[in-house]
Amino acid sequence: MKQQLKKFGVISLGCSKNLVDTEMVIGLFRENGFELVTEAEQADILLVNTCGFIESAKEEAIQTILEMAEYKKKKCQVLIVMGCLVQRYKTELEKEIPEVDLWIKFQEYDTFWEQVKTVIEPIQEKKQKLEFTNRVISTGDNFVYVRIAEGCSNHCTYCAIPSIRGPFVSRTMEDILAETKQYAKDGYQEIILIAQDTTKYGVDLYGEPKLAELIEQISKIDGVHWIRFLYAYPETITDELIQVMKNNPKVCHYWDIPIQHIADPVLKRMNRKSNGKSIQALFQKLRQEIPDVIIRTTVMVGFPGETQEDFAQLQEFVETAKIDKMGAFAYSKEENTPAERLPNQVHPATKKSRYRKIMELQKQISKENLAKKIGQEHEVLIEAKSYDGKYYVGRSYMDVPEIDGYIWVKADREVTLGKFYPVQIDQVEEYDLIGHIK
């Protein structure tokens, strides 16, 4: 029986692309007369947007759903679950967790509100669809994620995203620019472009990569101070894109390039399009063209068939490449992926050992890289004040929010949050920097 309820709460799990969906959902609920609450015990309606990318994400999602189901014994009347986990396992989940009132798959997002109306009575129905321009930004006042494409068509053998999210589909440039202009008008100074593979933006729509052109157009928007783009695949980074970063003052000199590995046999089994030689050449080129460039990457250890020699090659690359920022994860066998069926699966203990070794190595490199920043001056966006009031907390072009470290800033004068200040770096912590306003 449908119920007329007033307060809703939302939990968003997973990546920034998932967060964009969550923000659109919040916007839709609020437009239709519902009040957002931040405490689960206050909510009449609870919604969980799940991730189902790897095993640990699936476990977290299921645990969160079960925790939210407990609130149905109190005030909560309706529990709704959406996202990647639902897309993969809706039938099984419906049987296993009957406390959930509504499961919504991706293809049902086009009729999202119609789905919701089957379990609740709208208070004042105004909006019917999820819209990018009707998002409620949840990341603060300074930056916003702009999703420029859906899905992925790369078909890496370890990855379930193409089967979950579907093929790569670009949004039109006009649509993206209209959305971005609205954010700039609302005061957001940092635009972060995201997709599963940003460097392929436009190929499906326009017949050629259009990320460089999109960035140039965004840079013309008044109010935009920083532009970033995340998840650039190495084989689709063009000279044009490099030059845009080099020459456009609004584009942060920051590359997020997930390479996954450096050993050619491993890359081939992953169905990656790059090889070790091309990756190393690309990194060298980026540093030659943009001397102050920051490179972030992700590597995977323990992929099926990864030998000790392959891992040693990866270690050597990490040690010599001196990558500024690097994350790692151990291979997780995912259902219905080609890698699941590959021979020579690596023992869990070996995967764990290799993960520890590669991260310990990167920890030392990170410390060395950060030490070189002492004495440098950087433009820093001040975003908060520390709990003890001794520091302001900010980021430079070197720091992606919610991923990288911070710059802790001492100031002998009043500082305005949301403004940019010149900061000289004085000290280094493990992943953070300490400095003072000049």
Confidence class for position 271, pLDDT limits 50, 70, 90: very high
**Class of CATH domain 7-132:** alpha beta
Kindly report the number of other CB atoms within 10 A of residue 68's CB atom.
Answer: 22
Instruction: Identify the CATH assignment for 377-437 out of 1.10.287.3510, 1.10.10.10, 3.30.565.10, 2.40.50.140.
Output: 2.40.50.140
pLDDT one-digit tens code per residue, 138-150: 999 999 999 999 9
- Say whether pLDDT at 129 is over 90: no
Handedness of CA 426, 429, 431, 436 (dihedral sign): negative
Most confident of 3-7, 48-52, 429-433: 48-52
pLDDT one-digit tens code per residue, 147-167: 999 999 999 999 999 988 999
**Predicted local distance difference test score (pLDDT) of residue 121:** 85
Q: What's the token pair of residue 334?
A: 């995912």
Say how far apart CA 191 and CA 338 lie, in whole Å. 36
Residue ranges covered by each domain of the chain:
7-132, 139-252, 254-372, 377-437
Comparing 139-252 with 254-372, is the CATH topology the same?
yes
**Class of CATH domain 139-252:** alpha beta
Confidence class for position 2, pLDDT limits 50, 70, 90: low
Beta bridge partners of 239: none
More confident residue, 5 or 29: 29
Q: What are phi and psi of 291, to 5 degrees?
A: -55, -30
Domain boundaries 254-372, corresponding CATH code: 3.30.750.200
pTM, two decimal places: 0.94
- Residue labelled with tokens 């004085």: 426
Say how far apart CA 338 and CA 24 lie, in whole Å. 33
